[in-house]
C-alpha cells in the first residue's frame, strides 16, 4: 500500500526540484559564497520594511560584478525564473518582497563610490552605495546629495532610483528623479542598458524618467550618476505649534501660497510628538494639536529674510508658539524628533504600517480629520508625521501583527486612507512606491485601460514578465475582484490570490 501523501507535498517537491535546477545553473556563473538557498540563510531576505508580508525566495544571489549580474539575469530568463532586485530592504511597500519561485538579486556588494567630479558637481556610484555615504564622500568638497530619505543611513541609491525616493529637503531640491543624470543597468534578458547621460539632457526619448520610480520592474540598476549641490552657508529651522490641526494644515498651504519654498516643511500631529518626545527629547510642545518644522537655507541674508517671512505667515495662521533654531545643534535637535518618528512608533506598538499617499496641500486638515474618524471606525491608533509641504502623508497605523484581526483592520484602515486621498484629489503613492501594498488601491486610482497601458510599458522592457512580477500594476481580474469586494463591504483582497501579469 502506498503511504498517504501529505497535502502540499507535490508543490514542495516541485519547489525543491526547481531550486536545485536554478542553483545548479547559477553555480556556473557565481562563486559558492555568492549563492544562498538554505531556509535559515534566506530568512533575512523574506521581507522589506513592510514586515507584515513575508515570502521566502527560492535562491538569493549576491553578485559582485556587472558580468555576474548579467549572467544571473540571462540564466533566469532562459529558465523562466522571476528576479526581484534588492538593495537594503528598507522599502515600505513590499517592493523587494521575494517571489516564492524566484531569485532575489541582492545588489549589496555594489557599494563603491566610483568618482566624484567636483567641476561637474556629480558623483558616479554603484547601486548598492548608501544614500548618506554619497554626501559623506562629497563633504570634503563642500558638496552633498540633496534627496534625504529618513532611511538614508541604510537605503541604497539603487533602491532610491527604483522608488523615486523623497525626503525632508525634496520640497526645495527635488526628488531622486530631479537629482539623477544617468542610470546604467541590465534588462531582464541580461543586456546592458543606459538611461540619461552625463549632460543635462540626452538625445532621444527621456527613458530615464520612466526608469526612475519603476520599482525594479523594467531593469536592474548597477550604476548611477547623481548631481551634487553646494552645502548651504546657513540653515535655520522654525518650530511652530498650533492648537488646531486645521490651522496647521492651512498654515502649510499659506507658506507656499506666499511664494516661499522652504528647504523643508514637515508636520507632526499630537500622538506623534508625544511618541517622539518620549524617545529623543527634542523639546516639542506636547500641548500642541500639531507642530510644523519649517527650514530655511541659503546665504545668511537669504535665511534671515525667509525666516522673517515664514514667521509672519505662521503667526497670521494662528501659531500658538514659535521657536527658531539659533545654532546648528539646536536645528539638529528640532529635526531629531522628525528623523526618529518611525523608531519612536516602534516603541509604542508591536507593529506599525506606514502609509504613503499625497493630498493637495489645501486638503491636509480634511484628511487628518478623516483619519481621526477612521481610528474610531477601525479601532486602531494612528500617528501622523509627514512632508506637509509636498502634501505627502505618512500615517503610521499601529497594530499587532500577531493578531490576524488587527492586521486585517489595519489593511482596511490603510486602504481607506489611500482611497480617501484619491477622493480628495490626491494619489495612492507619494514616495514609497506601490509594491504589493497598494495593488488594490491602484484599482481605485486608475481605470482598467490605464493599468493596461502600464502593463504595455512593462512588456516593452520585459516581454516575459520576469522582473519583479506581481508588483505595482494590478491585473484586470484583481481590479474586478476588488471592485466586487468593496461593494460587498470593504474586504481586502490578499495580493497573492490572483494571477499576475
Instruction: For residue 48, state whether it binds ligand FAD (rule: CB under 6 A).
Output: yes
Residue in the shown chain whose Cβ atom is closest to ligand FAD: 159
Which one among 34, 59, 83, 85 touches ligand FAD, defined by CB under 6 A? 85
Instruction: For residue 317, state whether it binds ligand FAD (rule: CB under 6 A).
Output: no
Instruction: For residue 470, state whether it binds ligand FAD (rule: CB under 6 A).
Output: no
Instruction: For residue 122, state whether it binds ligand FAD (rule: CB under 6 A).
Output: no
Does residue 318 contact residue 244 with C-beta atoms inside 8 Å? yes
Instruction: For residue 62, state whether it binds ligand FAD (rule: CB under 6 A).
Output: no
Which one among 75, 122, 156, 357 touches ligand FAD, defined by CB under 6 A? 156
Instruction: For residue 391, state whether it binds ligand FAD (rule: CB under 6 A).
Output: no
Counting every residue, how long is the chain? 501
Instruction: For residue 220, state whether it binds ligand FAD (rule: CB under 6 A).
Output: yes
Which one among 57, 63, 82, 95 touches ligand FAD, defined by CB under 6 A? 95
Q: CB under 6 A: which stretch of 136-144, 161-169, 446-454, 481-489 binds ligand FAD?
A: 161-169
Gap between the Cα atoms of 391 and 424, Å rounded: 12
Cα separation values, 390 from 83, 163, 174, 280, 348, Å? 33, 16, 10, 25, 27
Instruction: For residue 91, state whether it binds ligand FAD (rule: CB under 6 A).
Output: yes
| Alpha-carbon torsion angle 21, 25, 26, 30, nearest 10 | 140
Instruction: For residue 88, state whether it binds ligand FAD (rule: CB under 6 A).
Output: yes
Longest dimension (CA), the chain: 90
Which one among 122, 150, 241, 420 touches ligand FAD, defined by CB under 6 A? 150
Which one among 35, 72, 83, 96 touches ligand FAD, defined by CB under 6 A? 96
497 is written with which cell numbers?
490570490
Residue 241 vs 358, nearer CB to ligand FAD: 358
**DSSP 3-state percent helix, strand, coil across the chain (nearest 5):** 40, 20, 40
Instruction: For residue 468, state whether it binds ligand FAD (rule: CB under 6 A).
Output: yes
Q: CB under 6 A: which stretch of 25-33, 35-43, 92-100, 474-482 binds ligand FAD?
A: 92-100
Cβ of residue 312: shortest distance to ligand FAD, in angstroms?
Answer: 29
Residue 101 vs 448, nearer CB to ligand FAD: 101
Residue 247 vs 387, nearer CB to ligand FAD: 387
Q: CB under 6 A: which stretch of 91-99, 273-281, 297-305, 492-500 binds ligand FAD?
A: 91-99
Which one among 68, 122, 135, 160 touches ligand FAD, defined by CB under 6 A? 160
Instruction: For residue 225, state whether it binds ligand FAD (rule: CB under 6 A).
Output: no
Lay out the site mask for ligand FAD across 165-184 (x = CB under 6 A, - = otherwise).
xxx-----------------
Cβ of residue 340: shortest distance to ligand FAD, in angstroms?
Answer: 9
Instruction: For residue 102, state whether it binds ligand FAD (rule: CB under 6 A).
Output: no
Instruction: For residue 390, state whether it binds ligand FAD (rule: CB under 6 A).
Output: no
Instruction: For residue 127, state whether it binds ligand FAD (rule: CB under 6 A).
Output: yes
Size of the site for ligand FAD (CB under 6 A): 36
**Strand arrangement of the beta sheet that strand 122-126 belongs to:** 113-117, 122-126, 220-227, 180-186, 192-196
Helices (H), 52-128: 66-79
Instruction: For residue 84, state whether it binds ligand FAD (rule: CB under 6 A).
Output: yes
Residue 167 vs 249, nearer CB to ligand FAD: 167
Which one among 334, 342, 446, 461 touches ligand FAD, defined by CB under 6 A? 342
Which one among 432, 438, 458, 478 touches ligand FAD, defined by CB under 6 A? 432
Cβ of residue 56: shortest distance to ligand FAD, in angstroms?
Answer: 16
343 is written with which cell numbers?
523608531
Helices (H), 37-185: 39-42, 66-79, 131-138, 157-163, 170-173, 176-179
Instruction: For residue 87, state whether it binds ligand FAD (rule: CB under 6 A).
Output: yes
Residue among 113, 140, 65 nearest 226 (CA): 113
- 3-class DSSP assignment, residue 358: strand
**Strand arrangement of the beta sheet that strand 321-324 belongs to:** 321-324, 234-242, 290-298, 264-269, 382-386, 395-399, 351-354
Instruction: For residue 63, state whether it binds ligand FAD (rule: CB under 6 A).
Output: no
Does residue 29 contact residue 105 with C-beta atoms inside 8 Å? no
Residue 311 makes CB contacts below 8 A (sequence gap 6+) with 238, 322, 324
Gap between the Cα atoms of 329 and 247, Å rounded: 29
Cα separation values, 230 from 235, 305, 382, Å? 13, 20, 38
40 is written with which cell numbers?
535559515
Residue 150 vs 273, nearer CB to ligand FAD: 150
**Strand arrangement of the beta sheet that strand 83-86 belongs to:** 35-36, 59-61, 103-106, 83-86
Gap between the Cα atoms of 388 and 181, Å rounded: 27
Own/partner contacts of 475-481, CB < 8 Å, gap of 24 or more, are: 475/451, 475/499, 475/500, 475/501, 476/448, 476/451, 476/452, 478/439, 478/440, 478/443, 479/443, 479/448, 479/451
Cβ of residue 34: shortest distance to ligand FAD, in angstroms?
Answer: 16
Does residue 183 contact residue 196 with C-beta atoms inside 8 Å? yes
Question: Which residues contribute to the site for ligand FAD (CB under 6 A)?
Answer: 48-49, 84-92, 95-96, 107, 127, 149-151, 155-156, 158-160, 162-163, 165-167, 215-216, 220-221, 342, 431-432, 468
Amino acid at each position: 500500500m502506498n503511504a498517504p501523501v501529505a497535502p502540499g507535498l507535490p508543490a514542495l517537491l516541485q519547489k525543491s526540484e526547481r531550486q536545485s535546477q536554478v542553483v545548479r545553473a547559477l553555480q556556473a556563473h557565481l562563486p559558492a559564497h555568492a549563492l544562498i538557498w538554505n531556509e535559515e540563510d534566506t530568512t533575512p531576505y523574506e521581507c522589506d520594511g513592510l514586515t507584515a508580508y513575508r515570502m521566502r525566495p527560492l535562491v538569493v544571489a549576491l553578485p559582485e560584478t556587472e558580468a555576474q549580474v548579467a549572467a544571473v539575469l540571462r540564466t533566469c530568463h532562459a529558465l523562466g525564473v522571476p528576479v526581484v532586485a534588492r538593495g537594503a530592504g528598507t522599502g515600505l511597500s513590499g517592493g523587494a518582497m521575494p517571489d516564492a519561485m524566484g531569485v532575489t538579486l541582492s545588489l549589496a556588494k555594489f557599494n563603491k563610490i566610483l568618482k566624484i567630479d567636483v567641476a561637474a558637481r556629480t558623483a558616479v556610484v554603484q547601486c548598492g552605495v548608501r544614500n548618506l555615504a554619497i554626501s559623506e564622500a562629497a563633504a570634503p568638497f563642500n558638496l552633498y546629495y540633496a534627496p534625504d530619505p529618513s532611511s538614508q543611513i541604510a537605503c541604497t541609491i539603487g533602491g532610491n532610483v527604483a522608488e523615486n525616493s523623497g525626503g525632508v529637503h525634496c520640497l526645495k531640491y527635488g526628488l531622486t528623479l530631479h537629482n539623477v543624470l544617468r542610470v546604467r543597468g541590465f534588462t531582464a534578458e541580461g543586456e546592458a542598458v543606459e538611461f540619461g547621460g552625463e549632460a543635462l539632457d540626452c538625445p532621444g526619448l527621456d527613458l530615464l524618467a520612466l526608469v526612475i520610480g519603476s520599482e525594479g520592474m523594467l531593469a536592474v540598476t548597477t550604476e548611477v550618476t547623481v548631481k551634487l549641490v553646494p552645502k548651504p552657508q546657513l540653515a535655520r529651522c522654525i518650530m511652530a505649534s498650533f492648537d488646531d490641526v486645521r490651522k496647521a494644515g492651512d498654515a502649510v498651504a499659506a507658506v507656499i501660497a506666499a511664494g516661499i519654498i522652504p528647504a523643508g516643511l514637515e508636520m507632526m500631529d499630537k500622538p506623534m510628538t508625544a511618541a517622539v518626545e518620549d524617545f529623543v527629547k527634542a523639546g516639542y510642545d506636547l500641548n500642541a494639536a500639531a507642530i510644523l518644522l519649517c527650514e530655511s537655507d541659503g546665504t545668511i541674508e537669504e535665511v534671515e529674510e525667509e525666516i522673517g517671512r515664514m514667521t509672519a505667515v505662521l503667526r497670521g495662521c494662528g501659531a500658538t508658539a514659535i521657536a527658531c533654531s539659533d545654532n546648528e545643534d539646536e536645528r539638529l535637535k528640532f529635526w531629531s524628533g522628525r528623523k526618529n518618528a518611525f523608531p519612536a512608533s516602534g516603541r509604542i506598538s508591536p507593529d506599525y504600517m506606514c502609509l504613503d499617499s499625497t493630498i493637495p496641500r489645501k486638503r491636509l486638515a480634511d484628511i487628518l480629520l478623516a483619519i481621526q474618524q477612521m481610528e474610531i471606525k477601525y479601532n486602531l491608533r494612528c500617528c501622523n508625521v509627514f512632508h506637509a509641504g509636498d502634501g505627502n502623508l505618512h500615517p503610521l497605523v499601529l497594530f499587532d501583527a500577531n493578531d490576524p484581526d488587527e492586521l486585517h483592520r489595519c489593511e482596511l484602515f490603510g486602504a481607506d486612507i489611500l482611497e480617501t486621498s484619491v477622493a480628495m484629489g490626491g494619489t495612492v503613492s507619494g514616495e514609497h512606491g506601490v509594491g504589493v501594498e497598494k495593488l488594490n488601491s491602484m484599482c481605485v486610482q486608475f481605470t482598467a485601460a490605464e493599468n493596461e497601458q502600464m502593463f504595455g510599458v512593462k512588456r516593452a522592457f520585459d516581454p516575459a514578465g520576469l522582473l519583479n512580477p506581481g508588483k505595482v500594476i494590478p491585473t484586470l481580474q484583481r481590479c474586478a475582484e476588488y471592485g466586487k469586494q468593496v461593494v460587498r463591504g470593504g474586504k481586502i483582497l490578499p495580493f497573492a490570490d490572483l494571477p499576475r501579469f
